[in-house]
Amino acid sequence: MKLATLRMDDGLHAALVRDDGYVDLGPGDVGGLLARPDWRAFAAAAEGDAFTVEPARLAPVIPRPGKIVCVGLNYRTHITEMGRDLPAYPTLFAKFSEALIGPYDTLELPPESPAVDWEAELVVVVGERIRRADRTSAEAAIAGYTVMNDVSMRDWQFRTKEWLQGKTWEASTPLGPWLVTPEELAPDAGISCEVDGDIVQKSTIADLLFDAADLVSYISTMITLNPGDLIATGTTGGVGHARKPARYLEDGQLLVTAIEGIGEMRNPVRRGAPR
């Protein structure tokens, strides 16, 4: 099953994604849909004619998550390229919902940073309220997965030892295009990022050090996870900051982020005007 949040004329609507288009599930978004205990059955029983929409109508699939917990240094290839040792525990930081943009929205490079980098990521979408989950309970609490690009302002990120200030710039983080339920995603699904057709990241999610169930269990030990909360699982090797010389996003480029079995995001990159 695939679900989307659409920008309709009267506001956001959740929708079931079929091969022939979208089926309207009513006003609201996918995050609100997941708050229903019967969301799976409700979505599966959707009736009505499918319709198509232009890509700009796709909103972030979870527009207002209660939490966005992100994991750094979680692909072995990325840990190696950054010159780090494999961590014993997940490295966590947060984003805020204001950072999110849609899967086809324009990514505006802020005038305050010349060092804007790409990070293709698999995102876990929580589907049940859960606390102190063991692995079995953690797996059962996963509603599905989506795609994120954890666009990072590297110069701001490394001003201090804490990463938050480089990771949650407003309107900096594409999310989507859809949520797919767990059976849709292969354990070795490919993940990639392209900049103007140049493949800069290419790996599989099998390279994750801490997998989805590990992360749900670990994070829920600290805090209750609720339906619609997001866990960004980290990026693979190939980021621009690790290159010699470093390479960053530039005005006029197209950023394409994809995971097999979920879909792809296509975000034009534009440089914002100085303020």
How distant, in Å, are the alpha carbons of 37, 65, 140, 194, 199 from that of 216? 19, 15, 10, 29, 30
Mean predicted confidence (pLDDT) in 22-28: 97
Q: What is the per-residue pLDDT for 201? A: 97
Does residue 275 surpass a pLDDT of 90? no
Q: What is the per-residue pLDDT for 203? A: 95
Q: What is the per-residue pLDDT for 170? A: 97
Q: Which domains does the chain have, with CATH numbers?
A: 62-271 (3.90.850.10)
Give tens-digit pLDDT for 129-170.
999 999 999 999 999 999 999 999 999 999 998 899 999 999
Q: What is the per-residue pLDDT for 269? A: 98
Does residue 12 surpass a pLDDT of 70? yes
Q: Rounded mean pLDDT of the chain?
A: 95
Give tens-digit pLDDT for 75-119.
887 877 777 788 889 999 999 999 999 999 999 999 999 999 999
DSSP string, the chain: -EEEEEEETTEEEEEEEETTEEEEEEES-HHHHHTSTTHHHHHHT--S--B---GGGBPPSSSS-S-EEEEES-BHHHHHHTT-PPPSS-EEEEE-GGGEE-TTS-EEEPTT-S-EE--EEEEEEE-S-BSS--HHHHHHTEEEEEEEE--EEHHHHTTSS--GGGT--TT-EEEEEEEE-GGGS-TT-EEEEEETTEEEEEEEGGGBSS-HHHHHHHHHHHS-B-TT-EEEEEE-S--GGGSSS-----TT-EEEEEETTTEEEEEEEEEPPP-
Q: What is the per-residue pLDDT for 274? A: 62
